[in-house]
Amino acid sequence: MLKIRPASYGRSDRSATSQWFWEVDRTLIALLFVLIGIGLIAVAAASPAAADRYSSATATLPELYFFWRQLGWLFVSVPVMFLVSAMPRLLLTRLCLLATAVGIVALALVPWLGSEINGAKRWLDFGVSRVQPSEFLKPVYVVTLAFLFTRRWSFVTRAAASGGLALVTAFLLMRQPDFGSTVIFLATWAAMFALAGARMKLVAGLGVAGLVGIVLAYFFYDVATTRIDAFLFGEGDSFQTDRAMATLTAGGLLGKGPGAGELKFGLPEPHTDYIFSVIGEEFGLIACLAIAILYFMIVARVLVKLLDEDDALAILASAGLVLQFGLQAFINMAVNVQIAPSKGMTLPFISYGGSSMLALSIGMGLLLAFSRRNPYLNRSPYVVRWSGT
């Protein structure tokens, strides 16, 4: 009689699945699943308001329309995350280099072939679904930068190659225009440039260049001018951020309860850009604080683990991926609490979005893959095996 024995995943088991189980950061996976669970609850809370906003005289969307679609995307995205996390680093690096080239070409095609929404062309329409190339470029761009920074070239050559990629990407993003994503791509490069061994004078110079870039954007980029004027001087249309702040604080510390929110029906994008405000109204400011702490824990978890890592590519790729993830979350929350001008950026794993969810899952799969550790390998936090200079 054939007996089927369940996998034990013991330390003596050397199968590929068991090896992945012992090497992957299971605490990080648990934190991500908590975040995904919160996201499903938040989308369910925001879905009635979003369905009401996008319903028309001829077609009325069901109240939980966006929730069920998000759940469907999760059934696709989570397996992709695990599949990517189980792949070898060398293969992933090669795939990321190829994907970065494809992503740059896709960004270049967006102004001609893209579909326009709210005055910006950021999506390629494939009929069944719209895809935002910049979302899929984010994670593979980080791995490509890590690859360039760890080549056996002079530091000047590495800085020029990686900086060239960052500038080309920024130029293509500003043509859409997408100022928020441009900030994330350039800030990620700057952080990785510093981690790769740049001198403090160069890092300080980059900070000054960033400030100059924002000033130039204010004078020559109409959308930036409008949003900065509304943020700093209260001039122009600040309806979105004012409404978001009012919704966020309407629930007090503990919230009005699931489904009891009313102000969310007046938000422009309650299920995407302003879902953090919906959480504040229905679940309270304490829930918002808990979410901010959860993002901080994810970033801190990865950065602390990297202190005992000696592979240069793994250090830069993991740090870049988690900093990019944390920066996107920070910008979204900052907009909702009115400490940053409106940017039209989603909250990772919490906001609704099919292509966004899939791209984030690929990014987290890459992070899990590059942060995998061999539990049998002796490591000492006091031995430095790599220097970026």
- Find the range with the poorest average confidence among 56-65, 181-190, 228-237: 228-237
Quick one: pLDDT at residue 5? 44
- Find the range with the poorest average confidence among 268-272, 350-354, 382-386: 382-386
Identity (one letter) of the amino acid at 262?
E
Is the pTM higher than 0.75? The answer reads: yes
Cα–Cα distance measured from residue 91 to residue 109, given in angstroms and rounded to the nearest whole number: 27
Nearest to 124 by CA among 145, 102, 156, 141: 102
Classified as helix, coil or strand, 371 is coil
Q: At what angle do helices 312-336 and 354-370 cross, to 10 degrees?
A: 140
Instruction: Look over the chain and give the mean of its residue pLDDT values, rounded to a whole number.
Output: 86
Cα–Cα distance measured from residue 63 to residue 83, given in angstroms and rounded to the nearest whole number: 33
Residue 224 pLDDT > 80: no
Residue 7 pLDDT > 90: no
**β-pairing, 120-125 with 115-117?**
antiparallel
Cα–Cα distance measured from residue 82 to residue 65, given in angstroms and rounded to the nearest whole number: 27
pLDDT interval class at 388 (50, 70, 90):
very low
% of the chain with per-residue pLDDT over 90: 55
Rounded to an integer, the average pLDDT of 349-378 is 87
Which residue's entry shows tokens 């350039």?
A: 186
Domain residue ranges of the chain, discontinuous segments joined by +: 25-370
Burial class of residue 353 in the structure, from the number of CB atoms within 10 Å of its CB (0-12 exposed, 13-18 middle, 19+ buried)? buried
pLDDT interval class at 209 (50, 70, 90):
confident
Which residues, 6+ apart, have CB-to-CB distance to 31 below 8 Å? Answer: 294, 297, 298, 301
Classified as helix, coil or strand, 158 is helix
Rounded to an integer, the average pLDDT of 151-180 is 90
Helix (H) or strand (E) holding 109: helix 89-113
Q: Degrees (nearest 5) of the Cα angle 240, 243, 244?
A: 85
Quick one: pLDDT at residue 234? 60
For the segment 169-194, what is each residue's pLDDT rounded down to a tens digit?
999 998 887 888 898 999 999 999 99
